[in-house]
């Protein structure tokens, strides 16, 4: 009995020491490294825009754009799987590299492990491959949480793509557990592509120490649509979103796979509701992480109580990130409406008032609500079980990492 007590005491002590060590590592990393993270200004450009919600169409057109490349191809993805969806991309990249083009692929160190099997072949063909977010010491657990969540493709400085899609079979709806994948992406043709290339170049420099040469970069003609772009590095997004919502005069629509806002953003939404602003929220019914769904109820319940409309998407997995303010201003990007995107990830945000695209986004939202979702009301919240409330309470210590 004494032996068991001693053993249990030692295990508890080791667990406490491990927890304290991890907490100190993260807190110290944020204190030391956080102030050194770059901050950027919003860049306004004029482009021709095209909106995608379906992975097959997007992947086909992205590969067609790569196939037509004459000078360079730059890709950055959070997840790039070397599976049946990703392998055609890799073959095409090697083909373009063999033709003498400058081909560069940047992927997240933790989320593209299957790509490592193809590294030798890719590099032998002339494709430059690098990994962002490598784990470093000290501040190991801090760096584990610092991820490059951007998804960017630029070709020849004239055509660019960005948004929420990664590369893999899952993003074509081939995951039996998640079902059909619903996401969004933008293609732009115009001078905003140069901004995307400079974002890629900064990420490439951070990952490799190599500076890309833009001395021959040629200015691209303007398109008809205004687009404001900004790259955030575990900073700025909270204030940008808060200012965006504060300007709402009639309505706010938030579509996101995760709903775990910061206190500031939560308070802004409560304030908007108190001032008569209509708030509609669309989130998936399914979850790809065990904590995010119960955690979201901590914020969703008070908002619905104050008059927000909550819709849960049930036809597959909803992964799009869209905000629409006053039915005319909108956000599309890589950042989710969660604290991980606000305070940990490197993200890419875009804002526009393009009337045609705003109308398209609103129509898509209305179809998703009408055909694919069910409203979750105050009465539904009141019927949540004690177990559900306990699950939500248990997620509280982890919200800043979700």
pLDDT 10s digits, 179-222: 889 999 999 999 999 999 999 999 999 999 999 988 777 777 78
- When the pLDDT of each residue in the chain is averaged and rounded to a whole number, the result is 93
- In this prediction, residue 270 carries a pLDDT of 98
Per-residue pLDDT tens over the stretch 100-123 = 999 999 999 998 888 989 999 999
Per-residue pLDDT tens over the stretch 155-182 = 999 999 999 999 999 999 887 778 889 9
- In this prediction, residue 105 carries a pLDDT of 97
Contact 142, 21 (CB under 8 A): no
pLDDT-derived band at 5 (thresholds 50, 70, 90) equals low
Catalytically active residues, by annotation: 149, 151, 156, 319, 321, 326
pLDDT-derived band at 1 (thresholds 50, 70, 90) equals low
Q: Is 274 exposed, middle or buried (0-12, 13-18, 19+ CB in 10 A)?
A: exposed
The pTM of this model reads: 0.94
Percent of the chain having pLDDT more than 70?
Answer: 99
- In this prediction, residue 112 carries a pLDDT of 81
């Amino acid at each position: 009995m004494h032996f068991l007590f001693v053993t249990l005491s030692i295990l508890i002590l080791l667990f406490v020491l491990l927890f304290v060590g991890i907490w100190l590592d993260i807190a110290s990393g944020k204190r030391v490294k956080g102030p050194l993270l770059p901050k950027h200004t919003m860049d306004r450009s004029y482009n021709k825009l095209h909106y995608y919600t379906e992975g097959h169409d997007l992947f086909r057109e992205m590969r067609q754009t790569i196939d037509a490349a004459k000078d360079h191809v730059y890709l950055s993805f959070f997840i790039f799987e070397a599976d049946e969806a990703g392998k055609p991309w890799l073959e095409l990249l090697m083909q373009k590299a063999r033709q003498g083009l400058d081909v560069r692929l940047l992927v997240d160190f933790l989320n593209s492990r299957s790509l490592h099997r193809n590294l030798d072949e890719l590099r032998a063909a002339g494709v430059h491959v690098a990994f962002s977010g490598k784990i470093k010491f000290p501040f190991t657990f801090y760096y584990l949480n610092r991820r490059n969540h951007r998804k960017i493709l630029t070709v020849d400085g004239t055509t660019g793509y960005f948004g929420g899609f990664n590369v893999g079979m899952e993003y074509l709806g081939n995951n039996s557990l998640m079902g059909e994948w619903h996401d969004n992406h933008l293609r732009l043709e115009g001078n905003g592509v140069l901004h995307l290339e400079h974002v890629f170049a900064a990420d490439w420099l951070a990952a490799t120490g190599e500076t890309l040469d833009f001395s021959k970069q040629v200015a691209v003609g303007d398109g008809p649509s205004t687009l404001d772009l900004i790259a955030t590095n575990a900073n700025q997004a909270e204030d940008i979103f808060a200012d965006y919502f504060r300007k709402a005069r009639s309505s706010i629509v938030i579509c996101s796979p995760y709903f775990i806002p910061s206190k500031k953003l939560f308070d802004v939404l409560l304030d908007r509701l108190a001032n008569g602003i209509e708030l509609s929220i669309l989130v998936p019914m399914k979850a790809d992480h065990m904590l995010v769904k119960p955690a979201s109820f901590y914020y969703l319940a008070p908002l619905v109580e104050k008059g927000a409309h909550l819709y849960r998407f049930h036809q597959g997995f909803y992964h799009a990130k869209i905000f629409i303010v006053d039915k005319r201003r909108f956000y599309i990007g890589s950042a989710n409406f969660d604290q991980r995107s606000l305070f940990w990830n490197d993200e890419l945000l875009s804002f526009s008032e393009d009337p045609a695209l705003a109308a398209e986004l609103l129509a898509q939202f209305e179809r998703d609500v009408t055909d694919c979702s069910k409203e979750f009301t105050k009465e539904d919240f009141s019927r949540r079980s004690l177990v559900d409330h306990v699950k939500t309470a248990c997620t509280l210590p982890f919200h800043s990492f979700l």
